[in-house]
Amino acid sequence: MKNRKTDQKNKTGYPRASAMKDTGVRESDSPPIPAGVFADSNDASRYALLIKKYPLLPIKSEDSYDCALQILEALGDKINSSNATPSELGYFEVLASLIENFEEKHYPSARSMQPNEFLRYLMDMNDLKQEDLIEEFGSQSRVSEFLNNKRDLTLKQIKNLSERFRVTPSAFMP
């Protein structure tokens, strides 16, 4: 019979600590924490709470990403009010890096795409067809020509597209 605890996962998509198998590594096996890593025992406790909320591991799912963003936002507020400890600042920096890595893989940026690829992406995200962009282009054939790299955008089309999708006009410039 399968142990139900081993199937349980927390909101981050990672197994709960209580559901993880014994790795054979004991806390007593780990090297001592070097002096100066934590400002004091309070700082170490806050860091341990953050690790418990969200372990610093690669983000693998949207739920995990959402959870990481919530924690990052809360820490950002604390940092902005100058109430963060050194370990919270470090945790923030590492978590921001993990979030950035996830976003690069799952949410392509306009800078990494050609303008026609970016428009295809926006069309896909908004369930649009070529005929839905006639107002911005003037005709469906112009939409098709642009998407197939046979025509560049005019300044008016760039303005229209940037207003429709609420993005910077530079996203549609080569």
Confidence of residue 21 (pLDDT cuts 50, 70, 90): low
pLDDT at 1 over 70: no
pLDDT at 145 over 90: yes
- Report the CATH number at residue 139: 1.10.260.40
pLDDT at residue number 163:
92
Summarize pLDDT for 83-132 with one digit per residue, the tens.
Answer: 888 888 888 899 999 988 888 787 766 567 889 999 999 999 899 999 99
Task: Say whether both 149 and 97 belong to one domain.
Answer: no
* Nearest Cα residue to 167 out of 106, 110, 108, 100: 110
Task: Say whether both 119 and 95 belong to one domain.
Answer: no
- How many structural domains are present in the chain? 2
Give the range among 58-62, 150-154, 167-171 with minimum mean pLDDT.
167-171
Summarize pLDDT for 32-46 with one digit per residue, the tens.
Answer: 666 666 667 777 888
- Tell me the residue type at 3: N
Confidence of residue 133 (pLDDT cuts 50, 70, 90): very high
Phi-psi region of 152 (alpha: psi -120 to 50; beta: other; left: phi over 0): beta
Distance of CA 65 to the CA centre of its chain: 6
Summarize pLDDT for 45-96 with one digit per residue, the tens.
Answer: 888 888 888 888 999 998 998 999 898 888 888 788 888 888 888 888 999 9
Decide if 27 is inside a domain. no
Task: Provide the domain limits for residue 147.
Answer: 110-172
Q: Judge contact between 84 and 92, C-beta under 8 A.
A: yes
